[in-house]
Amino acid sequence: MMIVMKEGATEAQIAQVVERVDRAGARAHVSRGEFVTVIGAIGDDRELVAQLNLDGEPGVERVVPILKPYKLVSRDFRGPDAAIEIAGRRVGGDSFCLIAGPCTVESREQTLGTADTVKAVGASMLRGGAYKPRSSPYTFQGLGKAALEILAEARERTGLPVVTEVMDVRQLEDVVEVADVIQVGARNMQNFDLLKEIGRTGTAVLLKRGLAATIEEWLLSAEYIAREGNDRIMLCERGIRTFETAYRSTLDISAVPVVKQLSGLPVIVDPSHAAGKRDLILPMARAAVVAGADGLIVEVHPSPETALCDGPQALHSDTFAGWVADVRRCVDLMGKVVAGGAPVAVGA
Ligand code: PEP
Ligand code: MN
């Protein structure tokens, strides 16, 4: 539940409420706003409301139960469209986050070349996988630590924040050295121990929706991360598995406004993994932007024909600027601005 303090409530009154919440066996989470302080009491709401009986206590304005099973990531708790800040860029509100880069780091040349392309179009962040969750153990599994070093170089060279996936707690220490955003892939959305460990880092997170996850399960996974103290979370809709086989996954556009109603966390859409086919990515990206997404994450490659992973869905580096120009028109239409900057002439 949420305990909204009165404007001008004293530190002693806030401390008193926090102590009562702690004593009731719940966890207190204090958010200080410009005018009022809100204390989240994280536990079983029905029990807490009865046990704490805080209405009318000194400094308390009102007590609001949160009936959803997730609390910290709920819209009731966070407020609408609470933007988050990642490496100097705002994500959410009127700030649109365009993330682009290769599916996977294959070589220094391929990654730095793509990073330059991504920078030139004025994107917000660079993506690139070092550890890859592949369906087959016989396919390319990622370059691991060597890839992280290449990503660090790309970050240094372009100034772009880096988004990269972690699949296992054992990779986390190395990944947080380089990543501005830790990606949790669809296959790991319910790896609860990994989520908890990521929640203990101070690094922002891109939490992809599982292939067969409901929106509630997805938000509960975000809650696992937030509960450990890390609430800089972007949710990523990347398509779910349905009976349809004409494309790789079914992009659940409805999830965008629904999640925004329920949560207030920024929602990023990944049309690349949903479509699985290059020519579907632009119409799906446009739809996502107009549905209210706070950002897009797309795969780009200098030579998709030779890509080691996800080539058929990779946008060509050569034509990427035109693709972004089209998407920017939709971003404009929504009254948003791509966080990162204006496109610059290649070679400038
Ligand atoms: C990826 O981003 O390259 C990836 C593997 O994504 P997902 O977890 O959505 O399949
Ligand atoms: Mn991929």
Residues with CB under 5 A from ligand 2 (ion): 103, 310
User: How many angstroms is it from 264 CA to the middle of ligand 2?
Assistant: 26
Half-sphere CA count of 161, side-chain side, radius 13 A: 24
Q: Is the CB of 185 within 6 Å of ligand 1?
A: yes
Q: At what angle do helices 145-158 and 169-178 cross, to 10 degrees?
A: 20
Residue with tokens 């450990």: 228
Ligand 1 pocket test, candidate residues 106, 165, 205, most atoms within 8 A of CB: 165
Q: Is the CB of 79 within 6 Å of ligand 1?
A: no
The pLDDT of residue 346: 52
Half-sphere CA count of 18, side-chain side, radius 13 A: 13
- Protein residue whose Cα sits closest to atom 9 of ligand 1: 186
Residue 299 structure tokens: 């795969």
Q: Is the CB of 238 within 6 Å of ligand 1?
A: yes
Instruction: Give the residue ranges of the chain where pLDDT is below 70.
Output: 345-348
The pLDDT of residue 348: 44
Cα separation, 17 vs 11, in Å, equals: 10
Cα separation, 188 vs 339, in Å, equals: 28
pLDDT tens digits, 104-159: 999 999 999 999 999 999 999 999 999 999 999 999 999 999 999 999 999 999 99
Looking at the CA of 270, name the nearest ligand.
1
Ligand 1 pocket test, candidate residues 238, 252, 310, most atoms within 8 A of CB: 238
Q: Is the CB of 208 within 6 Å of ligand 1?
A: yes
Angle at 194 between CA 188 and CA 199, to 5 degrees: 120
Residue 12's alpha-carbon distances to 8, 55, 59, 110, in angstroms, are 11, 17, 9, 57
Q: Is the CB of 273 within 6 Å of ligand 1?
A: yes
Looking at the CA of 239, name the nearest ligand.
1
User: How many angstroms is it from 310 CA to the middle of ligand 2?
Assistant: 5
The pLDDT of residue 48: 77
The pLDDT of residue 302: 98
Q: Is the CB of 162 within 6 Å of ligand 1?
A: no
| Residues 208, 189 contacting (CB under 8 angstroms) | yes
Looking at the CA of 238, name the nearest ligand.
1
| Residues 86, 161 contacting (CB under 8 angstroms) | yes
| Residues 165, 187 contacting (CB under 8 angstroms) | no
Q: Give the pTM.
A: 0.91
The pLDDT of residue 104: 98
